[in-house]
Amino acid sequence: MSPVATRASGLAVSPIRRMAVGAPDGTVSLGLGEPGWPVPLVARQALAAAGAAEGALPYGPNTSSPELVAAVRDQHAAAHGIPGLSTEQVMVTSGSQAALFALFCAHVEAGSTVLVPDPGFVSYRSLAHLCQARAVGYRLGEGGALDAWQVETALEAHSDVSLVVLNHPANPTGGMASAAALARVAEACARRGVLLVSDEVYRELWVGERPPGLHDTAGVDAGVVLGSVSKAFGAPGLRVGWAVGAAELLAPARVVHNAMTTAPARPSQEAATALLRAADEVLAEARGHVRARWALLARVAPHLLPPDTSGGGRAGFYLWLPLPDGVPPEETTDFALRVRDTSRVTTVPGDAFGPAGAGWLRVSLGGPLEELDEGLARLAPWWKA
């Protein structure tokens, strides 16, 4: 048997999906972070048209269809107020996960340090490990918000940082990033010549006020911003994402992505193009679905509703829930399993997202409303009303 390469050793199945293994029959999942509302009509129509077309189904350009690239450019330019954005500043990928992978492989040196939010999306640490780099967590502020001072402190403590990852609105905390914090982090990274990657796949799922983004705050040269049709556009199964930033930063990542997969599937590209061209309508509808889910939480389990610490409303569909009084942080996973096996509802233990997540659960509100209603009703009694 061939030995496992060092870069792959130590990796395991995502703890998010691992919670489903061994779950009792009839368990309601509040663990997986994906939209549970219907795929928008324009995407379904584009997929139907692709299926009905006769003739060949070629790979297409490595850079993806010109129509899709232009649609990403136009939507990003409009959302961030960036006139003159070029298609060379857009890299379409097989989901934002592939954009992350390509950027890490292109810019993270073995033995270097990658700064990631703690708690933060599990793949950031995994990708640093695959690049044989060290993932070092920086703490978040109140409500999971970006704390620029924590990033600056981590940059000062490590002279070998190759990449900094931001995630806002954040997975798992739902925390925001203020314009001032984004500007400070961008300036700190630029001063040290460190690549800044801002994962903003939940940005358009706002309730109240649209959160600021890196590019509308600090300009397109401040770093690379990630987007996707998986969350706000309600189509995770299409596997279409993108990275927007300086052309010279994207160029080596394009080569990595081409080596990994030539481009997203053509029918997915056509459906994603349709979604982006109808962005105003699709995103407004998606925000309605998100509002409905937060309203359901307020109705079914109001004692679980966290305060709005940002002052600008909420974004995304994650409830970052502290453990009940009396449950110590070191029992986070055990508690999540007790809830699963006793009440038949899955959540994700917060320490899956980093050491600072101990003492918390991530609850996804994104699923179908009927399942969410039932899942919250099962979950709520574990906390005192």
Q: Which residues contact 96 (CB under 8 A, 6 or more apart)?
A: 199, 201, 226, 227, 228, 230, 241, 242, 243
The proportion of the chain whose per-residue pLDDT surpasses 90, expressed as a percent, equals 89
Both 362 and 268 in a single domain? Answer: no
The answer to whether residue 8 is domain-embedded is no
Given 278, 295, 327, which residue is the final one in a domain?
278
Q: Please provide the average confidence, as pLDDT, over all residues in the chain.
A: 95
Q: Model-level pTM greater than 0.85?
A: yes
DSSP state of 52: H
pLDDT at position 19 is 83
pLDDT band, very low/low/confident/very high, at 16 (cuts 50, 70, 90): confident
**Domain stops at, among 238, 263, 278:** 278
Q: Summarize pLDDT for 151-186 with one digit per residue, the tens.
A: 999 999 999 999 999 999 999 999 999 999 999 999
The CA distance from 158 to 133, in Å, is: 13
SS3 225: strand
Q: What is the count of structural domains for the chain? A: 2
pLDDT at 116 over 70: yes
Task: Name the token pair of 54.
Answer: 């006769």
**Mean pLDDT for the stretch of residues 131-144:** 97
Evaluate whether residue 1 is within a structural domain.
Answer: no
Strand ordering across the sheet containing 161-167: 90-93, 241-244, 224-228, 195-199, 161-167, 113-118, 134-139
Look at residue 360 and tell me if it is in a domain: yes
Residues 151 and 269 in one domain: yes
* Residue 138 DSSP SS3: strand
Give the per-residue pLDDT at 311.
66
How far is residue 104 from each of residues 224, 246, 313, measured CA to CA in Å? 12, 16, 32
Whether 265 and 295 share a structural domain: no
Of the chain, the end-to-end C-alpha distance in Å amounts to 55
* Region 279-293 average pLDDT: 97
Instruction: Name the CA dihedral angle for 236, 242, 243, 244, rounded to a multiple of 10 degrees.
Output: -130
Residues 215 and 348 in one domain: no
CATH number at residue 126: 3.40.640.10
User: Does residue 183 fall inside a structural domain?
Assistant: yes
For residues 221 and 342, membership in a common domain is answered with no
Residues 138, 149 share a domain = yes
Distance of CA 105 to the CA centre of its chain: 19
| pLDDT of amino acid 225 | 98
pLDDT (0 to 100) of residue 373: 98
The pLDDT score that the predictor gives to residue 154 is: 98
* Position 10 pLDDT exceeds 80: no
The residues, ordered by sequence, that sit 6+ positions from 246 with a Cβ below 8 Å of its Cβ are: 89, 220, 221, 224
Rounded Cα distance, 17 and 42, in Å: 30
Q: What is the pLDDT of residue 143?
A: 92
Same domain as 368, residue 300: yes
Predicted pLDDT of residue 1: 63
Looking at the structure, tell me whether residues 244 and 364 fall in a common domain: no
In a domain? residue 263: yes
Q: Answer yes or no: do 55 and 71 share one domain.
A: yes
The pLDDT-based confidence of 268 (bands split at 50, 70, 90) is very high
245 shares a domain with 135 = yes
Does the structure show a pLDDT above 90 at 262? no
Asked which of 263, 278, 293 is the last residue of a domain, the reply is 278
Residue range 295-350, pLDDT digits in tens: 999 999 999 998 876 666 899 999 999 999 999 999 999 999 999 999 999 999 99
Residue 232 and residue 210 in contact, taking contact as beta carbons nearer than 8 Å: no
Q: Is pLDDT of 381 > 90?
A: yes
Please determine, for residue 2, whether its predicted confidence score (pLDDT) is greater than 70. Answer: no
> For residue 27, is it within any domain?
yes
Average pLDDT of 74-92? 96
Q: Do the domain assignments include residue 9?
A: no
What mean pLDDT is predicted for residues 273-301? 97
Regarding whether 322 and 249 lie in a shared domain, the answer is no
Query: What residues make up the domain containing 322?
Result: 15-39+280-382
In the prediction, which pLDDT does 252 show? 98
The pLDDT, as a whole number, for residue 113 is: 98
Helix (H) or strand (E) holding 305: none
Confidence of residue 382 (pLDDT cuts 50, 70, 90): very high
Chain segment 188-212, per-residue pLDDT in tens: 999 999 999 999 999 999 998 999 9
pLDDT 10s digits, 353-380: 999 999 999 999 999 999 999 999 999 9
71 touches 276 (CB < 8 A): yes
Q: Does 325 lie in the same domain as 246?
A: no
